[in-house]
Amino acid sequence: MKRDYHTLCDVYMVYPYDLQIHTCRSDGDYPLDTVLELAKTIGLKGLSITDHNLAVGVNAAAERAREKGFTAIAGVEISAKFQGVETHILGYSRQFNESILAAGLRQTLEGYDERSRKMVELVNRSGMAKLDFERMKKAKGEETCIVKYDIAYYLGPLIGQSRKDAQKLFDRGGPFFVPYGDWAMSPVQAVDLIHRSGGRAVLAHPGETAQKMGEPVFSDLLSTLLPGGLDGMEVTACKHTLEQNNRFAEYARKHQLLMTGGSDYHGDQHHPEIEMGAGGLTEEQFREFYAALV
């Protein structure tokens, strides 16, 4: 059967530099060293580990990647909220001030734990299964938070579902969905935190964000972020169409924003449709971005 090709995930190629990769410290499938081994196998030259809302260890992750032979940038992906819609802001630095970043993300981590605890309570009250939030928290480790993918890890085997399918129960429209609370920072606050921590702030996967919130709200988001200090835009993303890549590249040039790219790789279980390196930067593009980092 002939396959229709719509996004970079479909017309798969390996960019030499992938600036959005996740590990199991947030919601990826694999630990850092496993991710780096895979990156080496597919031929990446450089990367950034951008685990969600994690400050402690971001510099160490980049240093570990350098030890393995990569050109690495310290990274983080901050979960913010704009007009009620989840919005992600990426932060990049040669060396973050982790103390400032951690202090700024403390409320977000605590908010995620509060949200996840409520999700676990909904599961337990439903009678579907009995889950232990404290057990999850202990297993995840310090300076992290529990997310719905963690809960799905424990719930899936109890109800005969894969982790990915079990996670859908916690998505919007699912029986155990809990929205972000007032603890979620605004995108402009995320930009400010990244700047104060010594980084550059980039809007993550704008095509996906525009689809999620709708074009009118997305336009409002951009109108808010530009005067709010946004430094760049993730132009080349795995889930973008070529038309979206061109659209956001043109927008970035018009507004003198830095251009980045990344696959948003999480692993073969969480997002099997996304291959590492399927979004990213060429050598020339990476050098231009790297030169602009603090």
Q: How confident is the model at residue 11 (pLDDT cuts 50, 70, 90)?
A: low
Structural domain harbouring 76: 17-101+184-291
Q: What is the pTM of this model?
A: 0.93
Q: pLDDT tens, 171-204?
A: 999 999 999 999 999 999 999 999 999 999 999 9
Q: What is the CATH number of the domain that holds 42?
A: 3.20.20.140
Tens of pLDDT along 221-271? 999 999 999 999 999 998 888 899 999 999 999 999 999 999 999 998 888
- Nearest Cα neighbor of 81 from 177, 207, 217, 215 is 217
Number of domain units in the chain: 1
Q: What is the pLDDT of residues 63-105, one digit of tens each?
A: 999 999 999 999 999 999 999 999 999 999 999 999 999 999 9
pLDDT at residue number 169: 98
Q: Is 30 contained in some domain?
A: yes
User: Which pLDDT does position 3 carry in this prediction?
Assistant: 31
Strand partners, 233: 203, 259
Q: Is residue 29 part of a domain?
A: yes
In a domain, residue 131? The reply is no
pLDDT reading at 289 higher than 90: yes
Residue 280 lies in a domain: yes
In a domain, 93, yes or no: yes
pLDDT of residue 115: 98
pLDDT above 80: residue 5:
no
Residue at 135 is within a domain: no
Interval 45-50 mean pLDDT: 99
- pLDDT bucket at 131, cuts 50 / 70 / 90: very high
83 assigned to some structural domain: yes
Residue 141: per-residue pLDDT: 84
Residue 80 falls inside a structural domain = yes
